[in-house]
Amino acid sequence: MLETLGLEYHYQQGKKIVFPDIGLKRGQRLLISGFSGCGKTTLLSLIAGALKLQAGDIKFDGINYSTMSSLLLDQFRADHIGYIFQTLNLIPFLSVSENIALGVRFSQSRKSKVSNLNQEVVRLVSSLGLEREALKIPVSRLSVGQQQRVAAARALIGKPDLILADEPTSALDSDTTKKFLNEVMETFDSNKQAIIMVSHDASIAPYFDTVIDFNKHYA
Ligand SMILES: Nc1ncnc2c1ncn2[C@@H]1O[C@H](COP(=O)(O)OP(=O)(O)OP(=O)(O)O)[C@@H](O)[C@H]1O
């Protein structure tokens, strides 16, 4: 499904980051760990097509990112990728359900996989352990842990092919982390989807079939 080859990225005031190559198949669950600042978020942003490639290439189902205009890449991301951002990127004044619905707003193909939007929002909210009563509440009134689940529901709605999750459990205690990961993995369709999660928390490794430790890559 996904292949990265020779990726490098250089922010204006920083060192060049050189990434290990990644190959990901449908059904695969990849955990990326590594020290703070080693480039995990940068790699997810490149895979999401949110950062422009500087060196190397990314192929998604055989389609080369470097052949797509930024407009096409934006649509490609909306159609194929659900992204749980480290900074969550929720719209604070919109309600929980409105934020979750944004996940399919810009993609006809993801929208078409949801037969009843309201029902699907309710299903995701309850499967991720949020109270149904929270649906109408502006998302800014929730705790950070609750907001992380809203961000997860927005990424999961419409079953995108690839889920990118950047530290999605950082605000959760260890019991809630386990519950959250069980729920995410339960909604995951191993015939169609793949997941890349970035985390500092080595204890979540058993939820994944592949672990890449960036610390070893840079050692
Ligand atoms: N917008 C930016 N401008 C300049 N430098 C940046 C920018 N974003 C990230 N960097 C730098 O690039 C490096 C990689 O950052 P990145 O956020 O990808 O690391 P990370 O492994 O995800 O870190 P963390 O685990 O703390 O989230 C860091 O040295 C960071 O300071």
- Which residues are CB-neighbours of 191 under 8 A, at least 6 positions away? 26, 27
In short, whether 10's Cβ falls inside 6 Å of ligand 1 is: no
Give the β-pairing of 210-213 and 29-33: parallel
CA of 41 to the centre of ligand 1 (A): 7
Domain extent, residue 24, equals 2-217
Using an 8 Å Cβ cutoff, are 106 and 188 in contact?
no
Half-sphere exposure of 117 (CA within 13 A, CB side): 14
**What are the pLDDT tens digits along the chain (219 aa)?**
999 999 999 999 888 999 999 999 999 999 999 888 889 999 999 999 999 999 999 999 999 999 999 899 999 999 999 999 888 899 999 999 999 999 999 999 999 999 999 999 999 988 888 888 889 999 999 998 889 899 999 999 999 999 999 999 888 888 888 888 988 898 888 899 999 999 988 889 999 999 998 887 765
pTM of the model: 0.93
In short, whether 42's Cβ falls inside 6 Å of ligand 1 is: yes
Report residue 89 as tokens: 């990127």
Report residue 66 as tokens: 């470097």
Of the candidates 106, 71, 81, which has an alpha carbon nearest to the alpha carbon of residue 162?
Answer: 81
What is the distance between the alpha carbons of residues 163 and 38, in angstroms, rounded to a whole number?
21
- Listed as own residue / partner, the contacts of 177-183 with beta carbons closer than 8 Å and 24 or more positions apart are 177/201, 177/204, 179/129, 180/128, 180/129, 180/148, 180/149, 180/152, 181/207, 183/127, 183/128, 183/129
Check which CATH number belongs to the domain holding 33 and give it: 3.40.50.300
CA of 42 to the centre of ligand 1 (A): 6
Domains: count for the chain = 1
Check residue 218 and give its pLDDT.
64
Q: Could you identify the atom of ligand 1 that is nearest to the CA of residue 42?
A: 18
Please state the length of the chain: 219
Check residue 21 and give its pLDDT.
95
Q: Could you identify the atom of ligand 1 that is nearest to the CA of residue 14?
A: 5
